[in-house]
Amino acid sequence: MKGRFFMNSRKTVRGPRRRDHPVPPLYGGAVTRPFALLRRCAVVLAVACALAWSQGRTGLNGVWKMDPGRSDFGPGPVSESRLDRITVDGANMKDTITQALRGGRETTYDMIYTLDGKECVNHVNGRLVKSTARWDGQELVVDSRVFAIREADMNDHWSVSSDGTTLTIVRHITGARRADQKIVFARQ
């Protein structure tokens, strides 16, 4: 006897599947409604997580002004002012930095990174800077080596606050001078 099985809470019926059959099919109807709801919730949750994940990574986009009162430069070089214009486009990031170091003039330069861990070469005020940038969860990690009279290594951890209004760069500098810095920016 050919046909398909149908099930309700009381009995299993064997017979041809018809649209007007009063018993719901085994893999549809009332029997699977809890699973369908669970499946829909899982899809909605996955989409929400993906949006939150991408927001953290693209949350760097924008103009950021350093807040000297909330920043701590330690014994390292001190910026009197700094403005970063950051653009993240897929696996590429451009940071146009305008800053004035204590006792120096204001300069503007671009730092261009690929966010996949490949080495990038930039020049800052005539100094060669080789960097790698990669995501570690919601945090951007940038490791740089500055080639000058004295070489220096910098390890930066960039994070954006959950409300998207604050960018914090925690920096560890080694080389001729060791320093730990925290540079805090407010979104403009």
What is the tens place of the pLDDT at every residue in 130-180? 999 999 999 999 999 999 888 999 999 999 999 999 999 999 999 988 999
Which tens digit of pLDDT belongs to each residue from 85-103?
Answer: 999 999 999 999 999 988 8
Q: How far apart are CA 138 and CA 126, in angstroms?
A: 32
- What is the residue extent of each domain of the chain? 4-58, 62-187
Percent residues over pLDDT 90 in the chain: 59
Report pTM.
0.69
> Does residue 22 have a pLDDT over 80?
no
For CA atoms 147, 150, 151, 157, give the dihedral sign: negative
Domain 62-187: state its class: mainly beta
Judge contact between 15 and 39, C-beta under 8 A. Answer: no
